[in-house]
Amino acid sequence: MFSYRHAFHAGNHADVLKHTTLIATLRHLMQKEAGITLIDTHAGAGLYRLDGDYTETGGEAKDGVVKLFAALRPLGKPPATAAPALAEYMDLIASFNPAGALRVYPGSPFVMHHLLRAESRDRLKLFELHPTDSKVLAANIAQLEAGRQIAVAREDGFEGIKAFLPPPPSATGSKRAALLMDPSYEVKTDYGRVSACIQEQLKRFPTGTYMVWYPIIPRPEAHDLPRRLKTLSNQSKRPWLNATLAIGQDPTHGPEDRPGLTASGMFVINPPHTLKAVLQAALPQMLAVLGRGRGQGQTVDSGG
Ligand code: SAM
Protein backbone atom coordinates (compact mmCIF):
# COMPACT_ATOMS: atom_id res chain seq x y z
CA MET A 1 0.00 0.00 0.00
CA PHE A 2 2.84 2.37 0.79
CA SER A 3 4.81 2.16 -2.44
CA TYR A 4 3.72 5.66 -3.52
CA ARG A 5 6.10 8.47 -2.55
CA HIS A 6 5.17 11.89 -3.78
CA ALA A 7 8.86 12.93 -3.93
CA PHE A 8 9.15 11.09 -7.27
CA HIS A 9 6.36 13.23 -8.71
CA ALA A 10 6.78 16.57 -6.95
CA GLY A 11 6.47 19.50 -9.35
CA ASN A 12 5.12 17.45 -12.24
CA HIS A 13 2.30 18.64 -14.55
CA ALA A 14 -0.32 17.30 -12.13
CA ASP A 15 1.17 19.36 -9.29
CA VAL A 16 1.20 22.44 -11.54
CA LEU A 17 -2.54 22.03 -12.22
CA LYS A 18 -3.36 21.07 -8.62
CA HIS A 19 -1.38 23.79 -6.88
CA THR A 20 -2.36 26.55 -9.33
CA THR A 21 -6.03 25.68 -8.72
CA LEU A 22 -5.46 25.43 -4.96
CA ILE A 23 -3.77 28.84 -4.77
CA ALA A 24 -6.38 30.58 -6.96
CA THR A 25 -9.20 29.07 -4.85
CA LEU A 26 -7.67 29.91 -1.48
CA ARG A 27 -6.65 33.43 -2.52
CA HIS A 28 -10.29 34.13 -3.31
CA LEU A 29 -11.55 32.61 -0.05
CA MET A 30 -9.00 34.67 1.88
CA GLN A 31 -10.50 37.90 0.57
CA LYS A 32 -13.09 37.51 3.31
CA GLU A 33 -11.75 38.47 6.68
CA ALA A 34 -13.35 35.63 8.65
CA GLY A 35 -11.00 32.80 9.60
CA ILE A 36 -11.10 29.55 7.68
CA THR A 37 -10.19 25.92 8.41
CA LEU A 38 -7.99 24.37 5.71
CA ILE A 39 -7.73 20.58 5.52
CA ASP A 40 -5.31 18.46 3.52
CA THR A 41 -6.47 14.83 3.71
CA HIS A 42 -3.38 13.41 1.94
CA ALA A 43 -0.59 15.82 2.75
CA GLY A 44 2.63 14.06 1.67
CA ALA A 45 6.00 15.13 3.09
CA GLY A 46 5.42 18.87 2.68
CA LEU A 47 8.71 19.92 1.08
CA TYR A 48 10.67 18.23 -1.70
CA ARG A 49 14.18 18.69 -3.04
CA LEU A 50 14.16 19.11 -6.78
CA ASP A 51 17.85 18.22 -6.85
CA GLY A 52 17.48 15.22 -4.51
CA ASP A 53 17.73 11.49 -5.22
CA TYR A 54 14.00 10.85 -5.51
CA THR A 55 13.28 13.62 -7.96
CA GLU A 56 16.43 12.85 -9.94
CA THR A 57 15.21 9.26 -10.38
CA GLY A 58 11.67 10.18 -11.36
CA GLY A 59 12.59 13.51 -12.86
CA GLU A 60 8.95 14.48 -13.32
CA ALA A 61 9.50 18.11 -12.32
CA LYS A 62 11.49 18.63 -15.49
CA ASP A 63 8.29 18.15 -17.50
CA GLY A 64 6.38 20.35 -15.05
CA VAL A 65 7.49 23.24 -12.87
CA VAL A 66 11.07 23.28 -14.21
CA LYS A 67 9.83 23.59 -17.80
CA LEU A 68 7.37 26.30 -16.77
CA PHE A 69 10.08 28.42 -15.16
CA ALA A 70 12.47 27.86 -18.08
CA ALA A 71 9.80 29.11 -20.50
CA LEU A 72 8.22 31.93 -18.50
CA ARG A 73 10.92 33.00 -16.03
CA PRO A 74 14.27 32.01 -17.53
CA LEU A 75 17.21 32.75 -15.25
CA GLY A 76 19.05 35.89 -16.30
CA LYS A 77 16.48 36.82 -18.95
CA PRO A 78 13.34 38.98 -18.84
CA PRO A 79 10.24 37.01 -17.78
CA ALA A 80 7.38 36.38 -20.20
CA THR A 81 3.88 37.57 -19.36
CA ALA A 82 2.04 34.86 -17.46
CA ALA A 83 -1.69 34.49 -16.79
CA PRO A 84 -2.40 35.84 -13.27
CA ALA A 85 -3.03 32.42 -11.67
CA LEU A 86 0.13 30.99 -13.19
CA ALA A 87 2.10 34.06 -12.10
CA GLU A 88 0.81 33.61 -8.52
CA TYR A 89 1.79 29.94 -8.60
CA MET A 90 5.28 30.77 -9.85
CA ASP A 91 5.65 33.61 -7.31
CA LEU A 92 4.86 31.17 -4.53
CA ILE A 93 7.32 28.53 -5.82
CA ALA A 94 9.97 31.24 -6.34
CA SER A 95 9.59 32.40 -2.72
CA PHE A 96 10.88 28.96 -1.64
CA ASN A 97 13.88 29.39 -3.97
CA PRO A 98 15.31 32.82 -3.16
CA ALA A 99 18.65 32.06 -4.85
CA GLY A 100 16.89 31.74 -8.21
CA ALA A 101 17.51 28.12 -9.28
CA LEU A 102 14.67 25.71 -8.46
CA ARG A 103 15.89 23.46 -5.66
CA VAL A 104 12.85 23.14 -3.40
CA TYR A 105 9.26 22.34 -4.27
CA PRO A 106 6.55 23.11 -1.69
CA GLY A 107 3.85 20.46 -1.45
CA SER A 108 0.26 21.33 -0.63
CA PRO A 109 0.83 21.74 3.17
CA PHE A 110 3.42 24.45 2.52
CA VAL A 111 1.36 26.04 -0.25
CA MET A 112 -1.53 26.26 2.23
CA HIS A 113 0.66 27.47 5.07
CA HIS A 114 2.04 30.21 2.82
CA LEU A 115 -1.50 31.56 2.40
CA LEU A 116 -2.58 31.27 6.06
CA ARG A 117 -3.31 34.53 7.86
CA ALA A 118 -2.20 34.39 11.48
CA GLU A 119 -4.35 37.37 12.45
CA SER A 120 -7.52 35.75 11.05
CA ARG A 121 -7.22 32.61 13.14
CA ASP A 122 -7.01 30.41 10.05
CA ARG A 123 -6.26 26.80 10.90
CA LEU A 124 -4.54 24.05 8.92
CA LYS A 125 -5.15 20.33 9.53
CA LEU A 126 -2.85 17.86 7.79
CA PHE A 127 -3.27 14.10 7.47
CA GLU A 128 -0.53 11.78 6.22
CA LEU A 129 -0.56 8.03 6.77
CA HIS A 130 2.85 6.98 5.38
CA PRO A 131 5.16 6.28 8.35
CA THR A 132 8.21 8.01 6.83
CA ASP A 133 6.43 10.87 5.08
CA SER A 134 4.37 11.69 8.16
CA LYS A 135 7.58 11.98 10.22
CA VAL A 136 9.22 14.18 7.58
CA LEU A 137 6.05 16.27 7.36
CA ALA A 138 5.90 16.71 11.14
CA ALA A 139 9.58 17.76 11.20
CA ASN A 140 9.11 20.20 8.29
CA ILE A 141 6.04 21.73 9.93
CA ALA A 142 7.77 21.95 13.35
CA GLN A 143 10.35 24.29 11.78
CA LEU A 144 7.57 26.77 11.02
CA GLU A 145 6.89 27.17 14.75
CA ALA A 146 3.25 27.75 13.89
CA GLY A 147 2.00 26.36 17.21
CA ARG A 148 -1.66 25.42 17.31
CA GLN A 149 -2.37 26.98 13.94
CA ILE A 150 -1.21 23.77 12.21
CA ALA A 151 -1.97 20.21 13.30
CA VAL A 152 -0.34 17.13 11.74
CA ALA A 153 -1.94 13.71 12.23
CA ARG A 154 -0.62 10.34 11.15
CA GLU A 155 -4.13 9.17 10.42
CA ASP A 156 -6.37 8.09 7.59
CA GLY A 157 -7.45 11.41 6.08
CA PHE A 158 -10.81 10.06 4.87
CA GLU A 159 -11.73 9.21 8.48
CA GLY A 160 -9.82 11.97 10.27
CA ILE A 161 -11.71 14.85 8.67
CA LYS A 162 -14.91 13.82 10.40
CA ALA A 163 -13.60 15.47 13.57
CA PHE A 164 -13.09 18.79 11.77
CA LEU A 165 -16.19 19.19 9.61
CA PRO A 166 -18.31 21.17 10.11
CA PRO A 167 -15.52 23.48 11.28
CA PRO A 168 -15.72 25.57 14.47
CA PRO A 169 -17.24 29.01 13.95
CA SER A 170 -14.88 31.91 13.28
CA ALA A 171 -14.86 35.06 15.44
CA THR A 172 -17.73 36.41 13.34
CA GLY A 173 -19.73 33.23 13.80
CA SER A 174 -19.37 31.96 10.22
CA LYS A 175 -18.21 28.41 9.57
CA ARG A 176 -15.73 28.26 6.71
CA ALA A 177 -13.59 25.38 5.48
CA ALA A 178 -11.73 24.35 2.34
CA LEU A 179 -10.44 20.85 1.84
CA LEU A 180 -7.93 19.31 -0.57
CA MET A 181 -8.34 15.58 -1.19
CA ASP A 182 -5.33 14.30 -3.06
CA PRO A 183 -4.90 10.53 -2.65
CA SER A 184 -2.30 8.61 -4.63
CA TYR A 185 -4.98 6.20 -5.98
CA GLU A 186 -2.43 3.40 -5.77
CA VAL A 187 -5.22 1.27 -4.33
CA LYS A 188 -8.36 0.99 -6.43
CA THR A 189 -10.55 1.53 -3.39
CA ASP A 190 -9.35 5.16 -3.15
CA TYR A 191 -11.80 6.13 -5.93
CA GLY A 192 -14.80 4.80 -4.01
CA ARG A 193 -13.53 6.25 -0.75
CA VAL A 194 -13.21 9.71 -2.31
CA SER A 195 -16.79 9.77 -3.54
CA ALA A 196 -18.21 8.22 -0.34
CA CYS A 197 -16.31 10.75 1.76
CA ILE A 198 -17.40 13.73 -0.36
CA GLN A 199 -21.00 12.49 -0.28
CA GLU A 200 -20.93 12.30 3.51
CA GLN A 201 -19.22 15.67 3.96
CA LEU A 202 -21.64 17.40 1.59
CA LYS A 203 -24.40 16.27 3.96
CA ARG A 204 -22.52 17.33 7.10
CA PHE A 205 -21.17 20.59 5.73
CA PRO A 206 -22.69 21.51 2.34
CA THR A 207 -21.06 24.96 2.07
CA GLY A 208 -17.44 23.80 2.30
CA THR A 209 -15.12 24.14 -0.68
CA TYR A 210 -13.97 20.66 -1.69
CA MET A 211 -11.04 20.21 -4.11
CA VAL A 212 -10.40 16.70 -5.39
CA TRP A 213 -7.43 15.81 -7.58
CA TYR A 214 -7.77 12.72 -9.79
CA PRO A 215 -5.66 11.00 -12.45
CA ILE A 216 -6.96 10.63 -16.00
CA ILE A 217 -5.97 7.09 -16.86
CA PRO A 218 -7.66 4.23 -18.75
CA ARG A 219 -9.30 2.66 -15.71
CA PRO A 220 -13.08 2.57 -15.21
CA GLU A 221 -12.91 3.84 -11.61
CA ALA A 222 -10.81 6.84 -12.68
CA HIS A 223 -13.14 7.60 -15.56
CA ASP A 224 -16.19 7.43 -13.30
CA LEU A 225 -14.89 9.60 -10.46
CA PRO A 226 -15.46 13.08 -11.97
CA ARG A 227 -18.90 11.96 -13.21
CA ARG A 228 -19.78 10.71 -9.76
CA LEU A 229 -18.60 13.97 -8.16
CA LYS A 230 -20.70 15.91 -10.66
CA THR A 231 -23.75 13.84 -9.74
CA LEU A 232 -23.13 14.33 -6.01
CA SER A 233 -22.76 18.10 -6.48
CA ASN A 234 -25.92 18.31 -8.56
CA GLN A 235 -27.86 16.19 -6.07
CA SER A 236 -26.77 18.54 -3.28
CA LYS A 237 -27.50 21.55 -5.50
CA ARG A 238 -23.94 22.78 -5.13
CA PRO A 239 -21.97 24.48 -7.92
CA TRP A 240 -18.92 22.63 -9.28
CA LEU A 241 -15.98 23.13 -11.59
CA ASN A 242 -13.87 20.50 -13.35
CA ALA A 243 -10.49 21.44 -14.83
CA THR A 244 -8.34 18.98 -16.76
CA LEU A 245 -4.86 19.15 -18.21
CA ALA A 246 -3.41 16.54 -20.58
CA ILE A 247 0.18 17.16 -21.65
CA GLY A 248 0.20 14.30 -24.18
CA GLN A 249 2.62 11.44 -24.79
CA ASP A 250 6.34 12.09 -24.62
CA PRO A 251 7.37 11.80 -28.30
CA THR A 252 10.86 10.63 -27.28
CA HIS A 253 9.41 7.51 -25.63
CA GLY A 254 9.44 4.26 -27.57
CA PRO A 255 6.28 2.09 -27.81
CA GLU A 256 7.61 -0.27 -25.12
CA ASP A 257 8.23 2.55 -22.59
CA ARG A 258 5.65 3.05 -19.87
CA PRO A 259 4.06 6.41 -20.59
CA GLY A 260 3.65 7.56 -16.96
CA LEU A 261 0.83 9.90 -16.01
CA THR A 262 0.02 12.30 -18.84
CA ALA A 263 -3.27 13.84 -17.67
CA SER A 264 -5.18 14.74 -14.53
CA GLY A 265 -8.08 16.79 -13.25
CA MET A 266 -9.16 18.97 -10.37
CA PHE A 267 -12.81 18.81 -9.36
CA VAL A 268 -13.91 21.69 -7.13
CA ILE A 269 -17.26 21.76 -5.33
CA ASN A 270 -18.45 25.23 -4.25
CA PRO A 271 -15.67 26.92 -6.25
CA PRO A 272 -15.16 30.68 -6.07
CA HIS A 273 -17.28 32.30 -8.81
CA THR A 274 -14.05 33.74 -10.26
CA LEU A 275 -12.27 30.39 -10.63
CA LYS A 276 -13.57 29.44 -14.06
CA ALA A 277 -12.34 32.61 -15.78
CA VAL A 278 -9.06 32.45 -13.87
CA LEU A 279 -8.35 28.87 -15.00
CA GLN A 280 -9.60 29.52 -18.54
CA ALA A 281 -6.84 32.11 -18.77
CA ALA A 282 -4.15 29.94 -17.16
CA LEU A 283 -4.69 26.47 -18.62
CA PRO A 284 -4.02 27.27 -22.31
CA GLN A 285 -0.70 28.82 -21.27
CA MET A 286 0.12 25.82 -19.08
CA LEU A 287 -0.57 23.56 -22.02
CA ALA A 288 1.39 25.72 -24.49
CA VAL A 289 4.46 25.29 -22.29
CA LEU A 290 4.00 21.73 -20.98
CA GLY A 291 2.27 20.07 -23.96
CA ARG A 292 4.60 17.71 -25.79
CA GLY A 293 2.92 15.20 -28.10
CA ARG A 294 -0.22 13.29 -29.05
CA GLY A 295 -3.21 13.57 -26.71
CA GLN A 296 -2.77 17.14 -25.48
CA GLY A 297 -5.71 19.17 -24.23
CA GLN A 298 -7.25 21.19 -21.45
CA THR A 299 -10.82 21.81 -20.34
CA VAL A 300 -12.62 23.89 -17.74
CA ASP A 301 -16.27 22.91 -17.23
CA SER A 302 -18.67 24.05 -14.59
CA GLY A 303 -22.25 23.59 -13.51
CA GLY A 304 -24.80 23.84 -10.75
N1 SAM B 1 -1.14 16.61 -1.39
C2 SAM B 1 0.30 16.46 -1.58
C3 SAM B 1 0.80 17.65 -2.38
O4 SAM B 1 0.05 18.18 -3.22
O5 SAM B 1 1.94 18.05 -2.16
C6 SAM B 1 0.66 15.17 -2.25
C7 SAM B 1 0.01 13.98 -1.67
S8 SAM B 1 0.39 12.45 -2.43
C9 SAM B 1 -0.38 12.56 -3.98
C10 SAM B 1 -0.68 11.35 -1.55
C11 SAM B 1 -0.20 11.08 -0.11
O12 SAM B 1 -1.26 10.43 0.59
C13 SAM B 1 1.00 10.15 -0.01
O14 SAM B 1 2.01 10.81 0.70
C15 SAM B 1 0.48 8.93 0.77
O16 SAM B 1 1.44 8.41 1.66
C17 SAM B 1 -0.68 9.50 1.53
N18 SAM B 1 -1.77 8.58 1.90
C19 SAM B 1 -2.18 7.45 1.27
N20 SAM B 1 -3.32 6.98 1.83
C21 SAM B 1 -3.64 7.86 2.83
C22 SAM B 1 -4.74 7.97 3.74
N23 SAM B 1 -5.73 7.05 3.73
N24 SAM B 1 -4.77 9.02 4.60
C25 SAM B 1 -3.78 9.94 4.60
N26 SAM B 1 -2.72 9.90 3.76
C27 SAM B 1 -2.65 8.87 2.89
Mutate which of 184, 190, 211 for ligand 1? The one with the most ligand atoms within 8 Å of its CB, which is 184
**What Å distances lie between residue 256 and 63, 246, 259, 293, 295, CA to CA?**
20, 21, 9, 16, 18
Mutate to test the pocket of ligand 1, among 55, 129, 161 (most ligand atoms within 8 A of CB): 129
Cross-strand partners of 302: 241
Instruction: Determine if residue 202 is left, alpha or beta; phi over 0 gives left, psi from -120 to 50 gives alpha, anything else beta.
Output: alpha
Residue ID of nearest Cα to ligand 1 atom 9: 184
Q: Is the pLDDT of residue 1 over 50?
A: no
Going from the Cα of 44 to the center of ligand 1, the distance in angstroms, rounded, reads: 5
Q: Which conformational region is residue 300 in: left (phi greater than 0), alpha (psi within -120 to 50 degrees), or beta?
A: beta
Q: How confident is the model at residue 70 (pLDDT cuts 50, 70, 90)?
A: very high
d(CA 208, CA 216) in angstroms, rounded, equals 25
Q: pLDDT tens across 18-44, in order?
A: 999 999 999 999 999 999 999 999 999
Mean pLDDT throughout 110-121?
A: 90
Between 256 and 147, the more confident residue is: 147
State yes or no: is 301 an active-site residue: no
Q: Please say whether the beta carbons of 235 and 228 come within 8 A.
A: no
Which residue CA neighbors atom 17 of ligand 1 most closely? 42
Q: Are 283 and 243 in contact (CB under 8 A)?
A: yes
The residue ranges of DSSP E strands in 161-279, in sequence order, are 177-181, 209-215, 240-247, 263-269
Partnered with residue 125 across adjacent β-strands are: 39, 151
Q: Is the pLDDT of residue 273 over 60?
A: yes
At residue 257, the pLDDT reads: 66
Judged against a pLDDT cut of 70, whether residue 3 lies above it is answered with: no
108 lines ligand 1 (CB under 6 A): yes
Among protein residues, the one whose CA lies closest to atom 23 of ligand 1 = 156
- Cα 190 to ligand 1 centre (Å): 11
Sequence-distant (6+) residues with CB within 8 A of 116 are: 38, 122, 124, 146, 149, 150
Cα–Cα dist 18/246, whole Å: 13
What pLDDT is stored for residue 156 in this prediction? 98
Query: Is the minimum distance from the CB of 73 to ligand 1 under 6 angstroms?
Result: no
Cβ–ligand 1 contact at 129 (below 6 Å): yes
Q: pTM here?
A: 0.96
Residue of higher predicted confidence among 107 and 2? 107
Query: Which listed residue (15, 122, 182, 190) is catalytic?
Result: 182
pLDDT band at 260 (very low <50, low <70, confident <90, very high): confident
Domains of the chain: 6-249+261-303 (3.40.50.150)
